Structure 1
């Protein structure tokens, strides 16, 4: 189910595929909730298509998107049926992509559910509890910021299955923790707990489970308190800083600040 918005998609198609998501919009804040707690919010290609559709349908008035999940775990990752010969009902078995002419296109379609969370006109926050494994870890990484519970356990298990993380999670992981630690986390598939997650920059803060929703809401409110265009410019500056030299980044700062000053003065930007 996707609710209360009816403009996103024909929800019956998603429900038939076992996709249960909730979308709530409150002015400039949108909240996306994974609603499959009995399966620890296991994911499927149908869920990824639903998430991509939500991203495409969000109105331009939305400034902050909060991603949360029901139950004890954020997401246990891809539904295990995907790794069986029969695959997930209604979906192409993953093994068939090895010889499919459109394999690259299919995976690119899967990735669309993970890419829009970092778009420049909004800030996204993942509120993560319990386990975030594989695709669940990558969905948390898709967001700009992460608030987690003190019992959280992140793990990237794809390599242990003979695969690679392919849902757009490798770049943000590397940017957050550096290449050596990213390789170690992915290569070993080990658990990364809350204390380490905060220490290495994977999570912004860790709180008791009972405080997760409030902590995420407080962070969203603090972001919404900043003027929208200033926040957009700041996010763009930080996102683009990686490949720039020190002097190039200084020049980008000057250009952004002059745009802000012109805007505040009522001049054309």
Structure 2
């Protein structure tokens, strides 16, 4: 069932699995504010019955990053240009960027597990979109790069936090500042990718991973994801307490002692 198909984004749902597809391969799935709004809308349309969300892209590239039209003086039709944004007040500029970030935030909700299926280039905003997901399965031709600093900008689409969490501060700094490509083998070795497979096997590997995720008890997955996501912000003792509380909820639920 197709729930959305607009501005380079398609959302389909098959029982407990939703698939979000970037479907503008002619432009290597380059991103724009319209695409970001469509991605944010997709997150709102995902039914509550969905447990796994797959993010994939048509064509040879996952996403080549921000559409170069953004860097022209006029920008996109009907959108504020970079110059317009810079001239706005602090609150206006903050609100604009926050609105763009909405496309990248919902993938880590505790009630779903999101998987990015990455082939070819995932550059800048494309890299950050892959980082927005919980898990990444990559084709062996996948190439990640953060190119923002070469443009005098910073990665601002929520990618810095997960990148540091995955590869550590020093490597994240080097990747972002140099703008170099991280190829699939390095991505798997450093924890950026959960799995690397030949390109022809990418869809099958994602389906197998989704099936494994769906085999687990949904409420246990939700509790476990919440525990792991919060671990970095808790002390060891706070994490122990969070584990006890989560397990108590599960034991009571399994015993039929919850409302």
TM-score interval, smaller chain: over 0.9
1:4 is matched with 2
Give the TM-score normalised by structure 2. Answer: 0.97
Cα deviation 1:51-96 (Å, max 9, x = unaligned): 0011012111111100000000000000001011111223211222
Q: Which runs of 5+ in 2 are unaligned?
A: none
Residue of structure 2 equivalent to 1:27: 15
> What CA distance in whole angstroms lies between the structure 2 residues aligned with 1:95 and 1:41?
24
Deviations 1:11-53 (A, max 9, x none): 6xx4xxxx12221101110000000011100010000000001
Residues of 2 paired with 1:119 and 1:66: CA distance?
14
1:232 aligns with 2:230: no
Counterpart among 80, 94, 103 of residue 113 in structure 1 = 103
Q: 2:45 & 2:21 partners in 1: Cα distance?
A: 16
Tell me the residue number matched to 1:206. Answer: 196
What is the TM-score with the length of structure 1 in the denominator?
Answer: 0.93
Gaps (5+ residues) in structure 1? none
RMSD over aligned CA atoms reads: 1.1
Quick one: distance in 2 between partners of 1:228 and 1:108?
A: 31
Corresponding residue pairs, total: 257
In the other structure, the counterpart of 2:244 is 254
Deviation of 1:151 (Å) = 0.9
Runs of 4+ in structure 1 off by over 6 angstroms are none
Match of 1:221 in 2: 211
Partner of 1:67: 55
* Counterpart in the other structure of 1:124: 114
1:90 counterpart (49, 67, 78): 78
Query: Over residues 202-255 of structure 1, what are the superposed CA-to-partner deviations in whole Å (9 max), with x where a residue is unaligned?
Result: 010100000000001111111011110000000001001002122221111111
SS state at 1:148 partner:
strand
